[in-house]
Structure 1
């Protein structure tokens, strides 16, 4: 059963999200990640299987489906 580690809510829904990961100073965008999202605070939580799939994808020799440029701002 779901319980949010941020707000302790037990209400959630599934959603596909995009997330940017930084590895060795390089940014990688992963799209359409299946995620459990807290319906109260919006915290996104990946399953262990999803986390392992992302880790494997980003640390292997797999090729991205496309390459994009990204604007960078300093605060």
Structure 2
């Protein structure tokens, strides 16, 4: 049963999301991650199995599927 740890809502929808993780200070994009998304606040939650698969992907010695360039802005 879903329970949002941010707003307390018990309602979510299943979505595929993209998320940027910082691995050793380097931004790493993981695309198409299955997630529960809170219908009230939009917080994304990943299952234990999904989290483990993400860990394995980013630690894979084979390398990423592709690389992207991104713009960086500093607020303030």
Length-normalised TM-score, structure 1: 0.93
Aligned residue pairs, count: 75
- Report the alpha carbon displacement of residue 54 of structure 1 after superposing the two structures with TM: 0.3
Report the Cα distance in structure 2 between the residues aligned to 1:63 and 1:57, rounded to whole angstroms: 9
- Name stretches of at least 5 consecutive residues in structure 1 with no aligned partner: none
Report the 3-state secondary structure (helix = DSSP H, G, I; strand = E; otherwise coil) of the residue aligned with 1:28. strand
**1:28 pairs with 2:20:** no
* 1:52 paired residue number: 52
* 2:62 paired residue number: 62
* 2:41 paired residue number: 41
Report the 3-state secondary structure (helix = DSSP H, G, I; strand = E; otherwise coil) of the residue aligned with 2:5. coil
- Name stretches of at least 5 consecutive residues in structure 2 with no aligned partner: none
- Report the alpha carbon displacement of residue 73 of structure 1 after superposing the two structures with TM: 1.1
- Report the alpha carbon displacement of residue 45 of structure 1 after superposing the two structures with TM: 0.2
- Report the alpha carbon displacement of residue 53 of structure 1 after superposing the two structures with TM: 0.4
Length-normalised TM-score, structure 2: 0.91
Report the 3-state secondary structure (helix = DSSP H, G, I; strand = E; otherwise coil) of the residue aligned with 2:21. strand
Report the 3-state secondary structure (helix = DSSP H, G, I; strand = E; otherwise coil) of the residue aligned with 1:63. coil
Q: Which 10-residue stretch deviates more, 56-65 or 34-43?
A: 56-65
How large is the RMSD of aligned CA atoms in angstroms? 0.9
- Report the alpha carbon displacement of residue 60 of structure 1 after superposing the two structures with TM: 2.0
* 1:71 paired residue number: 71
